[in-house]
Structure formats: structure tokens, C-alpha cells
């Protein structure tokens, strides 16, 4: 980590003391930034933007030029993995992502195979390498993937953004769990290979987004989501070039299961905004670092409210090691960019004050 000019984020994930609380934002390269919208227009489509390593690098760096963020995150999409499995990802205008060939028949499910990230996902791996070079040791680069359960939701439901009632996949879970387990097992293998390829290309931390784990009943969550999150974490490369590569897992709506999530072996657990971060810390102790967890809607409020709410999260966690400040979910496209400056600056300044007092 000594090769980085700013390794605060990585040290926080490993629960080591830091001078201040590091901050980055989920979906920090996105539509709330006018410069992102310009690049996307130039690319012609969202998918083309994802599939061009040069443009993916460009938009990854844009928020770092504006804000004093402590990490960069690869610009990509969680659905690149099922697309590489042959499901035919496309984006319908105004409707979000869809698959031409969602998993409907048993034979399609039985034929599912994990893609080779060096072939079918080469453009992502090339983007990681290009971004890492462009960062030039300034801040760490985060690689990521969707979780097996969340990817399976899209693969079975067929797309259209967040699945609405999860009827198809929940029906499969309760009536044909064998088929769902097959999808999840193949997808878990794909995610492990994909994340390890990102690490090999230069990602210095990785995050697994379990965006839809929170829609499950507790027993179903343990069986169909948590077990496969653990399988992914168990398969990750933990060290590269003599440096630890920390992992973060995030289940949106998973606060009720935080103690179980903290036990699967990741270095950090991401929180949405529904669980007080101080309470979360009481529940998990020093087992993991915590990432989060201000409500992204706070960023629509006046600047002084943004600052107050940021301080509230920092105060709740306290001056302990092991906190990475983030939103409880991705930043909204309608966020005023100037409020992000307020958030980042408040996190840095107030966390320094807390440490001085603590």
C-alpha cells in the first residue's frame, strides 16, 4: 500500500487507524455529472460506454477531478456477466436493461456456463488496467460485480431495471430450488473468476453488490444469497504483489442480517440507510469494517442539512478505525453536484475533529 499516495480507503477496510474517514460514493461516475452525460452522448449508448476501455477510464476519473474522493471505482455494469453468458443484454430507451434470452427453460439453465473473463469480458479487464495506469498511484481502484442472487434475478426475470415482484425467480426458489441452485453455482464461479481477473489487472479492492438480497425471507436469504456470497468471498484472491486486496459485500435491505453477513469472511460490510451505523458497529464489533450509510436523498436537501446528516453518521460510528463513508445506495442522477462537494468536505473535516477528540 506504500505505493499509493493515498491509501486511507484500504487501511480503513482493514480496520487500521486513519487520520480521517475515507469517502467514495456508489455510482460516483454517473448521470448527475454533466461531464459524464457528455461522454455518454459521445459513446452513443450506455453499453458502448461500458465496452470502450478508453471511455470507461474517462468517466471513472471524472468524479475524482471534481471531488477529493479516496477511491475510484471501475465504471461498468453488473449485467456484463450474464451478457457474457449469452443472454443478450440490451438497453431499451427509457426502460432500462433487458435480456433477449432470459432463462426460461430447464435446458437453458442446464446449459449455462461461466464465461472466461479474459475473452468474453476482456473489455472490462482492459478498462481496469487502463484506469489503474491513469490513476498513477493517486487513490486505490475498486473492482466490482453483482452477487450471484442479484444477477440471477435479472437473468430469470428478464431485466427492466429492478425486477418488480420477483415472481419468476421466487417461484423457482420454492418450486424448483435445484434449478435455482444450478444458476447460482455457475454464476458464483463466474463472479469469482471475474473479480480475480479484475484483481490481476490492477483492482486493489473488490465489492460485491447484492442489490436484491433484501427481498428474500430470512431462510431463503441464507440459502440463495448469503451462501453464494460466502462462496464468492472464499474464492477471491486475497493478496497481489505482496499487498492485501480487501473485499466488501453489500446487501441492500440486509441490515437485519448484518451479524450473519459479517461472518462470511469479507473485510467490510456495506450498509444501506435503514440501520443506524452505531448500532451496526455494536452488533459486529471489530469483525469487519463498515461502509456507509447516509440516505442518498439527503443530497437533495440544502447544503447545511447535507453537512448535518454527514456529521450524524460519523458521530454514530465514533472515532474508531474501520469506517468507510458512503451512501446507503447509488447516487441519484438528480443530485446537485455541488452538494457532493459539501458531503465529501464535511466527512474529511469532521472525522478529523472526531479523531482529535477521541
What digits encode the pLDDT tens for the residues 107-156?
Answer: 999 999 999 999 999 999 999 999 999 999 999 999 999 999 999 999 99
pLDDT tier, 163 (very low <50, low <70, confident <90, very high otherwise): low
| Least confident interval from 43-47, 229-233, 274-278 | 43-47
pLDDT tier, 160 (very low <50, low <70, confident <90, very high otherwise): low
What digits encode the pLDDT tens for the residues 64-87?
Answer: 999 999 999 999 999 999 999 999
What digits encode the pLDDT tens for the residues 288-347?
Answer: 999 999 999 999 999 999 999 999 999 999 999 999 999 999 999 999 999 999 999 999
Distance CA 348, CA 314 (A): 10
Distance CA 52, CA 58 (A): 10
What digits encode the pLDDT tens for the residues 133-147?
Answer: 999 999 999 999 999
| Catalytic (active-site) positions | 27, 31, 40, 77, 154
Domain boundaries along the sequence of the chain: 1-27+273-358, 29-66+71-237
Bind-site residues: 27-31, 77, 154, 211, 329
Q: Decide the pairing of beta strands 243-244 and 239-240.
A: antiparallel
Distance CA 195, CA 136 (A): 21
pLDDT at 191 over 50: yes
Q: Nearest Cα to 46, choosing from 88, 78, 100, 91? A: 91
Mean pLDDT in the chain? Answer: 96
Bind-site residues for substrate: 27-31, 77, 154, 211, 329
Q: What is the average pLDDT across 42-52?
A: 94
- Name residues whose C-beta falls within 8 Å of residue 17's C-beta, 6 or more positions apart in sequence: 11, 321
Chain length of the chain: 358
In this prediction the pTM is 0.97
Local structure of 165: helix, strand or coil:
coil
The 10 Å Cβ neighbour count of residue 27 is 18
Q: What is the CATH architecture assignment of 29-66+71-237? A: Alpha-Beta Barrel (3.20)
Amino acid at each position: 500500500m506504500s505505493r499509493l499516495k493515498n491509501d486511507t480507503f484500504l487501511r480503513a477496510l482493514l480496520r487500521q487507524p486513519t487520520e480521517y474517514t475515507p469517502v467514495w460514493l456508489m455510482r460516483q461516475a454517473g448521470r448527475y455529472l454533466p461531464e459524464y452525460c457528455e461522454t455518454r452522448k459521445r459513446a452513443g449508448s450506455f453499453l458502448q460506454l461500458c465496452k470502450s476501455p478508453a471511455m470507461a477510464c474517462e468517466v471513472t476519473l471524472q468524479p475524482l477531478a471534481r471531488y477529493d474522493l479516496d477511491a475510484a471505482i471501475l465504471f461498468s455494469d453488473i449485467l456484463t456477466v450474464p451478457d457474457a453468458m449469452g443472454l443478450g443484454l440490451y438497453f431499451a430507451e427509457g426502460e432500462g436493461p433487458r435480456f433477449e434470452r432470459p432463462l426460461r427453460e430447464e435446458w437453458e439453465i442446464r446449459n449455462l456456463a461461466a464465461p472466461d473473463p479474459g475473452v468474453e469480458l476482456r473489455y472490462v479487464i482492459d478498462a481496469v488496467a487502463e484506469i489503474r495506469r491513469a490513476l498513477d498511484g493517486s487513490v486505490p481502484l475498486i473492482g466490482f460485480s453483482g452477487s450471484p442472487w442479484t444477477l440471477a434475478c435479472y437473468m430469470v426475470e428478464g431485466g427492466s431495471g429492478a425486477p418488480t415482484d420477483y415472481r419468476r425467480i421466487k417461484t423457482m426458489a420454492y418450486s424448483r430450488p435445484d434449478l435455482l441452485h444450478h444458476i447460482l453455482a455457475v454464476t458464483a464461479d463466474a463472479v469469482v473468476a471475474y473479480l480475480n481477473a479484475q484483481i490481476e489487472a490492477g483492482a486493489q479492492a473488490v465489492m460485491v453488490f447484492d442489490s436484491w438480497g433484501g427481498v428474500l425471507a430470512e431462510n431463503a436469504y441464507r440459502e440463495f444469497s448469503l451462501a453464494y456470497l460466502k462462496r464468492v468471498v472464499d474464492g477471491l484472491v486475497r493478496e497481489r504483489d505482496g499487498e492485501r486486496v480487501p473485499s466488501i459485500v453489500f446487501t441492500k435491505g440486509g441490515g437485519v442480517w448484518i451479524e450473519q453477513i459479517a461472518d462470511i469472511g469479507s473485510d467490510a460490510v456495506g450498509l444501506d440507510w435503514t440501520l443506524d451505523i452505531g448500532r451496526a458497529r455494536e452488533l459486529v464489533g471489530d469483525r469487519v469494517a463498515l461502509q456507509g450509510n447516509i440516505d442518498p436523498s439527503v443530497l437533495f436537501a440544502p447544503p447545511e442539512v447535507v453537512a448535518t446528516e454527514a456529521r450524524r453518521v460519523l458521530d454514530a460510528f465514533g472515532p474508531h478505525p474501520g469506517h468507510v463513508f458512503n451512501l446507503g445506495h447509488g447516487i441519484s442522477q438528480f443530485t446537485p453536484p455541488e452538494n457532493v462537494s459539501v458531503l465529501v468536505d464535511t466527512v474529511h473535516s469532521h472525522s478529523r475533529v472526531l479523531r482529535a477528540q477521541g
